[in-house]
């Protein structure tokens, strides 16, 4: 019984829609979401040194997700549990920021189209 089990084929963190926060597409986009959040902390948050420190940490988290998962191409269960925790945390944060950013962007476009 050297074949992969059913548990290893399925990705963790399954959403209600059947998608996973750690599939290859979301692992790639999560780094961009982390970069957007880091840019806000670095340039837009007017919180001084705290914003710079948090921005740098979030950039590091986004890069860690890309490096650990080899830009989403590495098999999830071949990654060590500690590295999976880091990658999953970065992925969830980055994907949430991407959804919020694009959601607000398209909401603004929709509102503008109502009045023009």
42 and 57 Cβ atoms separated by less than 8 Å: no
pLDDT at 10: 63
SS3 state of residue 65: helix
CB 29 within 8 Å of CB 98? yes
Residue-wise pLDDT tens digits, 56-72: 999 999 999 999 989 88
Beta bridge partners of 14: 20
Is residue 53 predicted with pLDDT exceeding 90?
Answer: yes
**Are 30 and 89 in contact, with CB atoms under 8 Å apart?**
no
* pLDDT number for residue 9: 59
Reported as a single tens digit per residue, the pLDDT across 71-106 is: 888 888 888 989 988 998 998 899 888 888 888 889
Burial class for 33, CB neighbours closer than 10 Å (0-12, 13-18, 19+):
buried
DSSP state of 46: -
pTM above 0.95, yes or no: no
pLDDT, the chain, mean: 83
């Amino acid at each position: 019984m050297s074949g992969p089990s059913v548990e290893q084929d399925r990705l963790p963190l399954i959403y209600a829609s059947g998608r996973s926060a750690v599939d290859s597409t979301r692992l790639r986009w999560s780094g961009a979401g982390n970069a957007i959040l880091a840019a806000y902390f670095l340039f837009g948050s007017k919180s001084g040194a705290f914003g710079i420190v948090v921005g740098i940490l979030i950039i590091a988290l986004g890069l860690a997700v890309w490096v650990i998962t080899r830009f989403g191409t590495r098999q999830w269960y071949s990654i060590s549990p500690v590295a999976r925790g880091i990658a999953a945390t970065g992925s969830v944060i980055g994907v949430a920021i991407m959804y919020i950013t694009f959601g607000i962007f398209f909401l603004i476009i929709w509102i503008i189209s109502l009045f023009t």
